[in-house]
A = this chain, B = another copy of it.
Amino acid sequence: MSEKKKIVQCVPNFSEGRDLEKIEKIVNAFRGKDGVKLLDYSRDEDHNRAVVTVVGEPEAVKNAMIEAIGTAIEVIDMTKHQGQHPRMGATDVVPFIPIKNVSMTEAVELAKELAKEASEKYNLPIYLYEKAASTPARENLAQVRKGQFEGMAEKVKQPEWHPDFGPHEIHPTAGVTGVAARMPLVAYNVNLDTNKLEIADKIAKNVRHLSGGLRYCKGMGVELKDRGIVQVSMNMTDYTKTALYRVFELIKIEAKRYGVNVVGSEIVGSVPMEALVDTAAYYLGLEDFSMEQVLEARLME
């Protein structure tokens, strides 16, 4: 038997959202390479930032990613960068996400390999964050990126903020890069038949981790003005531990307290098959079901 094919996702964020030619140059690193599949990219002019989604074999994705970091260094000058989104480098962040036959431990190893190789090749300081973080203080990206590009020249010199790889000084034009391993995020929103934002907010507080709710759930209330309703807008940060159906049912239960109803939900962007298969298995009360029974899971072996 051949070894099962490993698949990781990588969602690098680059600090260029306006100059299409530059973005294309960077994105080209992910095109026409064996074992690398560019799923899509989006850019935001206000954020002045591009977000690329790539999947493929770990080694191939890592090598393409190193090439992309090199191109970003060539075409982006952070000393001239302006944008609404927090950023600290030309290649701002590089999260690796285990998708298939890859453990989180392997994704962390891959993040470290990339960080080592890219830092040596480009003399680029790199912080590891989330599951790849070297200390708990570095797990949260917001903490790592605090001060942004403009504050990094000083920050990297502080002993507690010495980069995990690379020099203790910023790259003069490319700043600092964050490299991580994390679970896939699922953007999941549940709609309520009320226009009262405070109800969505209260329910969000009940179900999210921050204020006492489910461990891998972040959330807040959001108004859908055109529909005259509100929603509990969430990021599910580990669907394998905090299941979609669990937060959905919990929101239905909480909504009762306010005399409102759940009228539907939505998944924004992509979702791993397993998150929905698990949901179906719950509602159908499936006994002894294995993901291996899903034909598509077998096809990707």
Q: A residues engaging B (CB < 8 A)?
A: 7, 9, 37, 39, 55, 99-100, 184, 191, 244-245, 248, 262-267, 269-273, 276-277, 279-281, 283-289, 293-301
Task: Find out whether the CB atom of B266 lies under 8 angstroms from the CB atom of A286.
Answer: yes
Task: Find out whether the CB atom of B287 lies under 8 angstroms from the CB atom of A283.
Answer: no
Task: Please tell me how many copies of the chain the complex holds.
Answer: 2
Task: Find out whether the CB atom of A273 lies under 8 angstroms from the CB atom of B296.
Answer: yes
Task: Find out whether the CB atom of B294 lies under 8 angstroms from the CB atom of A270.
Answer: yes
Task: Summarize A's interface: helix, strand, loop or mixed.
Answer: mixed
Contact partner of A280 (CB less than 8 A), chosen from B264, B276, B297, is: B276
Task: Find out whether the CB atom of A265 lies under 8 angstroms from the CB atom of B286.
Answer: yes
| Complex Cα–Cα for A287 and B300 (A) | 28
Kindly report which residue of chain B lies nearest to residue A37, judged by CB atoms.
Answer: B299
| Complex Cα–Cα for A294 and B276 (A) | 9
11 A-B pairs within 8 Å (CB atoms) are namely A55-B299, A245-B284, A265-B285, A272-B295, A273-B295, A273-B296, A276-B276, A276-B294, A296-B296, A296-B297, A296-B300
Task: Find out whether the CB atom of B273 lies under 8 angstroms from the CB atom of A285.
Answer: no
Kindly report which residue of chain B lies nearest to residue A281, judged by CB atoms.
Answer: B276
Query: Which residues of chain B have C-beta atoms less than 8 A from A269's C-beta?
Result: 293
Task: Find out whether the CB atom of A271 lies under 8 angstroms from the CB atom of B293.
Answer: yes
Known: A245-B283, A283-B279. A266 touches B295 (CB 8 A): no
Shortest CB-to-CB span from A241 to chain B, Å, is: 18
